[in-house]
């Protein structure tokens, strides 16, 4: 299938600037949508009015969230600034501020209820999210080398903001992780026997350390069930499982557990932070474990705990006295 030369130019510019694959896919999607919305006219022929009409369509016809609308606007601004070299000014639409929401957290009992309906790999992923405070993409990107059994730590390679960090590794997960590593290495040996055996690596690493792609240490902890083409370098490799695989299993487990809260993969990370603070862990330590740059991001969990209301008596309770 032929690709659009213009979109390929956008893709090449993003890769030159080391944008993530997720951002690349997102930006290309919105730029393509913008072009189709304007009947396939070239963006250099379009200006403020067409951009404003497109953003209005997203908000009013497609009912997208403020974050999604901001993402679409970012994609268009990137295209005009870096590809077309056109400065867009006096746009009627500005970046919208997302409403500030308190994160949903689970009690320890609710976590146990959900875990009762998860098994095998899906249970281990959920346990890592809750026990280590990882984001779902960080958990799925874990490699064999990232698990340190000696000092009970997990290494997160290029987490959000391309930052490396360490977090704690619960003792209760050691046996399950050992079994998962053995499974991953077994898949790797089978790939090598069939003439493959390469894992998916960032472009800079595959060019610098070509042998690392076949190294057992670099294999994903949760390998995909099939081989695929590397999105950058197009060699056949084994990636990690897709996050929708876990999310589907989690959704089913939540329904079966009858926990009535809205639970996502990220809910376990919120619950990890809240439980640590409830157990007296210093907020700076929690900040470091979560990989937050700004302490104010971590401080939101102190509000979720509700500890400042602990000794406040509701007027309704006084009716009984």
Other CB atoms within 10 A of residue 63 CB: 8
State the pairing for strand pair 165-168/228-229.
unpaired
* Cα angle, residue 143 at apex, residues 217 and 146 outer, rounded to 5°: 85
Q: How far apart are CA 290 and CA 273, in angstroms?
A: 8
Q: Which residues of 39-57 are buried (b: 16+ CB within 10 A; e: fewer)?
A: eeeebeebeeebbeebbee
Q: Is 262 a catalytic residue?
A: no
Q: Is 135 a catalytic residue?
A: yes
> Whose CA is closest to 145, among 188, 90, 94, 97?
188
Task: Choose the catalytic residue: 121, 135, 143, 240.
Answer: 135
Q: Are 267 and 253 in contact (CB under 8 A)?
A: no
Q: Is 27 a catalytic residue?
A: no
Task: Choose the catalytic residue: 25, 32, 82, 160.
Answer: 160
Q: Is 273 helix (H, G, I), strand (E, B) or coil?
A: helix
> Whose CA is closest to 129, among 117, 116, 115, 143?
115
Task: Choose the catalytic residue: 11, 238, 240, 269.
Answer: 269
Q: Is 301 a catalytic residue?
A: yes
Q: Is 311 a catalytic residue?
A: no
Q: Is 101 a catalytic residue?
A: no
Specify the length of the chain in residues. Answer: 321
Report the catalytic residues: 135, 160, 266, 269, 292, 301
């Amino acid at each position: 299938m032929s690709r659009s030369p213009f979109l390929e130019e956008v893709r090449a510019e993003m890769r030159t600037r080391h944008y993530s694959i997720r951002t690349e896919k997102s930006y290309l999607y919105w730029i393509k949508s913008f072009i189709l919305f304007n009947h396939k006219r070239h963006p250099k022929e379009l200006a403020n009015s067409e951009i404003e009409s497109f953003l209005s369509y997203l908000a009013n016809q497609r009912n997208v969230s403020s974050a999604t609308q901001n993402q679409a606007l970012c994609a268009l601004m990137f295209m005009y600034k870096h590809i077309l070299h056109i400065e867009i000014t006096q746009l009627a639409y500005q970046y919208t501020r997302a409403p500030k929401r308190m994160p949903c957290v689970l009690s320890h009992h609710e976590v146990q209820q959900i875990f009762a309906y998860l098994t095998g790999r899906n249970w281990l992923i959920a346990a890592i999210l809750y026990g280590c405070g990882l984001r779902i993409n960080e958990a799925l990107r874990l490699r064999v080398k990232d698990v340190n059994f000696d000092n009970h730590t997990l290494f997160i390679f290029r987490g959000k903001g391309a930052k490396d960090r360490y977090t704690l590794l619960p003792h209760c997960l050691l046996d399950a992780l050992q079994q998962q590593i053995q499974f991953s290495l077994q898949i790797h040996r089978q790939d090598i026997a069939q003439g493959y055996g390469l894992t998916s690596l960032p472009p800079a690493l595959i060019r610098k350390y070509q042998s690392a792609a076949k190294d057992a240490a670099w294999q994903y902890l949760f390998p995909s069930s099939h081989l695929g083409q590397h999105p950058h370098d197009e060699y056949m490799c084994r990636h990690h499982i897709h996050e929708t695989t876990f999310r589907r299993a989690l959704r089913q487990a939540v329904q079966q557990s009858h926990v009535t809260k809205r639970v996502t993969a990220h809910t376990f990370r919120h619950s990890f932070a809240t439980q640590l603070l409830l157990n007296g862990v210093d907020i700076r330590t929690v900040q470091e474990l979560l990989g937050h740059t700004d302490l104010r991001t971590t401080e939101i969990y102190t509000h979720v705990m509700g500890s400042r209301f602990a000794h406040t008596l509701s007027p309704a309770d006084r009716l009984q006295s």
